Structure 1
Amino acid sequence: MGAAVAACARPNAARVLWCPVGRSPETAARAERAGLEPAADLDDLLRQAHVVLSLCPPAAAEDVARAVAERQYAGVYVEANAINPERSQRIADLLVGSTHAVVDGAVIGSPPIGGKRTRLYLSGPADALALLEGLFAGSPVETPVLGNDIGQASALKLAYSSYQKASRVLAALAFGAARAHGVDEALLDVAGKRQGSYLTETGYIAKTATRAWRWGPEVEEAADLLASAGLPDEVLRAAAQTLARWDSSKGLTELTPDEALDRLAQP
């Protein structure tokens, strides 16, 4: 997602950089395909970049922000990770004093490649929002503005994720239970008679498995969002625990739904 979104800024930006230090060969290959220019290290990147877009697994969001804050970065920092509003505010507080502005962002949709479009929802200071709108103008990345408060974009992302990702987990569990009793085809028939049911999208079971390593932490963040609003968080905690059974499925691009369900049935 990070490389695909960054590539969409290329027509409106003089240069689009990325930091390869500590990243995998797969990440480097994606950045190269996206036409991103490698910086020598984070210090080199921050000396040149007017805008930093942070798109990484939720667990790393504060570490990245802390590393940027330690270097007294003076540009616009876009916190676009799937984290809860309290963490977004902590990151904004961490960067206050050096950074020109912190923007809360939320990417919703598929990576903007192959004709697909995505939305980068934004909230934060008006001047920084205008800069980002211009940066992605005319690209497959739309930039709807939610308001000026840090946390609004993060709340929208996790509110959506709490339904979308947990629904995928429930669909996999439903098929796992049905398959164990030899009625999975009957379940598919029942689901097919209803409009818009995730139960009809059996191919997504394998996709969910291969994405579990990053979906699980995001669902935990969504559970934190519910808890902070005084709402029950147990369903999402359970969904995250279910996704954890698929952690080792990362990168298995040829995984089938049946193989994914076999993995799900293992403690």
Structure 2
Amino acid sequence: MTYTVGLLHPGSMGSAFGTQLRVRGHTVLWCPDGRSDTTRRRAEHAGLEPAALPELISRCDVVLSLCPPAAAEEVAAQVADLGMVDASRIYVEANAVAPPRVQRIADRLAPVPLIDASVVGSPPVGGKTPTLYLSGPSKQADRVVELFERTDVRTHVLGDSIGQASALKLAYSSYQKVSRVLAAVAYGAAESYGVADELLVIAAKRARSYLVETDYIPKTASRAWRWGPELEDAAALLADAGLPDSLMHAAAATLARWDGNRDEPLDIAEALEALRGERDLDDPS
């Protein structure tokens, strides 16, 4: 079965998704009103069909929102204001926004069912195969899965609760994107002191992501009392090199939540309770 999809708005990720949908035989509409020349060129290259927003909303079976996260609620409000009230259609909120924001969007669009979605991976270009994670009503989630069948976009349904897909995306982003920022400032500090090459040699010895090593969370908690002051000195190093030091101070402040755990063995659940401030580490009970 083929669908008419309204794509809001075709940036680098959205236009690549649009191309995949067109290859599959779906009609993909986009709204050129107020969009940049770059966006127009992307849409034309992807073969998307231009339509004014009211026409797009009236014709589409599915609205796929892939826009800058800050604009997600505004885009949804525009759709709601144009009267997309047919419960047989689907709104796919595929932006990296917090679960409470997704719920506000769902409330604004009701009775149109919303699928909470998130993209992990690069745009589906040149053989790349990102995963579109989905959560929300199962019937509508299955239709979105069908929408992307035989494309380079993989789909994975997480469950029927709105917020699951967004939470997964932001949990991953909180590590993946911040780690890139940390890599930049760490390299900048090493470069300032003429030891950048040596830093890369050290880094090359580790190929595995810390994110998969959940057993290290309690070890980190037990060492927080030593690591916190070390990161404060790292902040001083960055400041001396003219680099931002706020991430180091924030990490030290986070470690301070484990200060009372000095070399005390915890399991993962207990370490996370302490990190959330739910466990009094000075209370032996």
TM over 0.5: yes
Q: Which amino acid aligns with 2:95?
A: N
Q: Which amino acid aligns with 2:170?
A: L
Taking the aligned partners of 1:95 and 1:86, their CA distance within structure 2 comes to 14
Contact 1:77 1:102 survives alignment (8 Å):
yes
CA distance 1:237–1:106, shift in 2 (3 Å): farther
> 1:93 maps to what in 2?
107
Taking the aligned partners of 1:53 and 1:13, their CA distance within structure 2 comes to 16
Identity %: 56
Match of 1:83 among 76, 88, 97: 97
**Deviant stretches of 4+, over 3 Å:** 11-14, 234-239
* Relative contact order higher in (CA < 8 Å, ≥ 6 apart): 1
Aligned residue pairs total: 201
Q: Name the SS of the counterpart of 1:77 in structure 2.
A: strand
Taking the aligned partners of 1:66 and 1:183, their CA distance within structure 2 comes to 51
Post-superposition CA distance 1:204-224 (Å, at most 9, x none): xxxxxxxxxxxxxxxxxxxxx
Taking the aligned partners of 1:71 and 1:48, their CA distance within structure 2 comes to 12
Match of 2:193 among 181, 186, 200: 181
Match of 2:76 among 65, 84, 102: 65
Q: Name the SS of the counterpart of 1:30 in structure 2.
A: helix
> 1:25 maps to what in 2?
37
Contact 2:113 2:137 survives alignment (8 Å):
yes
**TM-score, normalised relative to structure 2:** 0.67
Taking the aligned partners of 2:186 and 2:106, their CA distance within structure 1 comes to 41
Match of 1:102 among 98, 114, 131: 114
Post-superposition CA distance 1:102-160 (Å, at most 9, x none): 11000000000011111110011112111111110010001100011110100000011
Is 1:191 paired with 2:203?
yes
**TM-score, normalised relative to structure 1:** 0.71
Contact 2:114 2:136 survives alignment (8 Å):
yes
> 1:148 maps to what in 2?
160
Post-superposition CA distance 1:27-72 (Å, at most 9, x none): 1111111121111x21111111110000011110000000001111
Taking the aligned partners of 2:77 and 2:120, their CA distance within structure 1 comes to 25
Higher mean C-alpha deviation, range 103-112 or range 20-29: 20-29
Taking the aligned partners of 2:63 and 2:209, their CA distance within structure 1 comes to 38
Q: Which amino acid aligns with 1:60?
A: A
Q: Name the SS of the counterpart of 1:121 in structure 2.
A: strand
Q: Which amino acid aligns with 1:176?
A: G
Q: Which amino acid aligns with 1:43?
A: P
Is 1:44 paired with 2:58?
no
Contact 1:166 1:236 survives alignment (8 Å):
no
Contact 1:12 1:134 survives alignment (8 Å):
no
Is 1:128 paired with 2:135?
no
Taking the aligned partners of 2:249 and 2:73, their CA distance within structure 1 comes to 21
Q: Which amino acid aligns with 1:81?
A: N
Taking the aligned partners of 1:105 and 1:237, their CA distance within structure 2 comes to 33
Q: Name the SS of the counterpart of 2:27 in structure 1.
A: coil
